[in-house]
Amino acid sequence: MGEMLVLIDHNDGQPRKVSLQMLSAATKLAAEAGQTVSAVWLGEGGADAAAVLGEHGAAKLYHWDSPDAFAYVTLPQVDALEAALSASGADTLLFASSNHVKDVAARLAIRVDGGVITDVTDLAVGDGGRLHATKEVFGGDLITTSKVADGKVALFGVSPNAFPVEASGGSAPETVALDVTLSEAATAAKVTSVEKVGSADRPDIGEAAIVVAGGRGLGNEQGFELMEQLADVIGAGVGASRAATDAGWYPHRYQIGQTGRTVSPTLYLGAGISGAIQHRAGMQTAQHIIAVNKDAEAPIFQIADFGVVGDLYKVVPKLIEELQTRKG
Ligand SMILES: Cc1cc2nc3c(=O)[nH]c(=O)nc-3n(C[C@H](O)[C@H](O)[C@H](O)COP(=O)(O)OP(=O)(O)OC[C@H]3O[C@@H](n4cnc5c(N)ncnc54)[C@H](O)[C@@H]3O)c2cc1C
């Protein structure tokens, strides 16, 4: 029986939510395609996470329990994934569509003569059991379905929150230690330090189930304190429009849109954001969209599920107050 691989993105020894989402989706897809799901864990801690990976559908776990995985830039992970593809004989790998892993996947595709499709929001089993991927292109103007050519290894970068987490209740997977020989080039660029940016308590906007975002309508950088206050009541990440980041009110790494991050949360709330096409390109796959804007004609209302026409400085504090009351 063939294997479908899922590269587990992890942090502090725990699989990130996107990894459990991918495993959950892969479990269904693999069953339909007559395959099994195998997780791939690079770096230390894989064996300790085996149980949770099994609960979410992994029948097998390939792990490379080595600090080398992240001690050098990119290439050790390419070497290890090549080893995982070779050991499993798999022709399909799902990975989290982050900038870092896209870089790894692009290099891997060249090594194995495969194809990469990134920012995938849905997957379905097509002819011959090959996966077909849905994604938005041209800033969300078009939705395409594509597949990697038959006979080639298919690498799919899956967007966070594209799939729900569904535990299948499986038992701990069979574990296989990968035998990885680092290529000479792999140790050429060493990582000398890693610094976490952003709030340790607030979720990353790429992964957060709820994202609240502020725009030019906030008027100044203090406005983001209000958005952070709202975020912290509901456990959300905070994003911004480009107008707000360009004004220096919030760091550029939180910019949502065509030239910023793509977010796909369960709930997006935009305050003081007009909803320009370039902003929408980064958030319109959110499952539910709430907009607060004093202009009833603002384009964001065309895609909002729930809109409040009003001054955000009146609406947002009331919202925070109400949420705090409900939380008790
Ligand atoms: C090549 C290119 C790439 C781009 N990439 C991005 C990108 O990645 N992300 C991005 O966001 N933009 C991007 N832009 C910019 C984009 O076109 C818009 O200019 C930008 O999104 C506007 O940001 P905004 O909605 O915050 O500001 P505005 O368009 O100025 O809207 C502000 C809104 O706030 C409302 N408002 C004002 N005061 C209040 C108040 N007190 N209460 C409630 N509402 C209020 C106004 O009615 C208005 O609708 C890009 C542009 C180009 C050309």
For residue 54, pLDDT over 80 is answered with yes
Residue of 294, 297, 314, 315 to test ligand 1 pocket, by largest number of atoms within 8 Å of CB: 294
Pocket lining: 295 vs ligand 1, CB cutoff 6 Å: yes
Q: Which is more confidently placed, 53 or 206?
A: 53
Q: Which atom of ligand 1 is nearest to the CA of 300?
A: 49
Mean pLDDT, the chain, whole residue set: 95
pLDDT band at 328 (very low <50, low <70, confident <90, very high): confident
Rounded (5°) CA angle 38-159-61: 15
Residues in contact with 82: Cβ distance below 8 Å, sequence separation at least 6, in sequence order:
108, 111, 112
Residue nearest atom 23 in ligand 1 by C-alpha distance: 243
The mean per-residue pLDDT over the stretch 159-169 comes to: 89
How far apart (Å, rounded) are the C-alpha atoms in residues 213 and 300? 12
Distance of alpha carbon 86 from alpha carbon 213, whole angstroms:
43
More confident residue, 140 or 170: 170
The answer, yes or no, to whether any atom of ligand 1 lies below 6 A from the CB of 98, is: no
Predicted local distance difference test score (pLDDT) of residue 248? 97
Using 50, 70 and 90 to split pLDDT, how confident is the model at 167? Answer: very high
* Third-level CATH fold of 3-187: Rossmann fold (3.40.50)
The domain segmentation of the chain, as residue ranges, is 3-187, 210-327
Q: Do domains 3-187 and 210-327 have the same CATH topology?
A: yes
pTM listed for this prediction: 0.83
C-alpha–C-alpha distance, residues 276 and 246, integer Å: 15
At residue 197, does pLDDT exceed 90? no
Going by alpha carbons, the residue nearest to atom 52 of ligand 1 is 278
Predicted local distance difference test score (pLDDT) of residue 50: 97
pLDDT at residue 207 tops 90? no
pLDDT, tens only, 55-67: 999 999 999 999 9
DSSP 172: P
Q: Ligand 1 in contact with 214 (CB < 6 A)?
A: no
Question: What pLDDT sits at residue 20?
Answer: 97
Query: Six-digit token pair at 219?
Result: 């008027």
CATH of span 210-327: 3.40.50.1220
Q: Which tens digit of pLDDT belongs to each residue from 100-133?
A: 999 999 999 999 999 999 999 999 999 889 999 9
Give the residue whose CA is nearest to atom 37 of ligand 1. 217
| Å from CA of 211 to ligand 1 middle | 17
- At residue 162, does pLDDT exceed 90? no
Q: Which two tokens stand for residue 2?
A: 């063939």
Ligand 1 pocket check for 140: Cβ under 6 Å: no
Is 276's C-beta closer than 6 angstroms to any atom of ligand 1?
Answer: yes
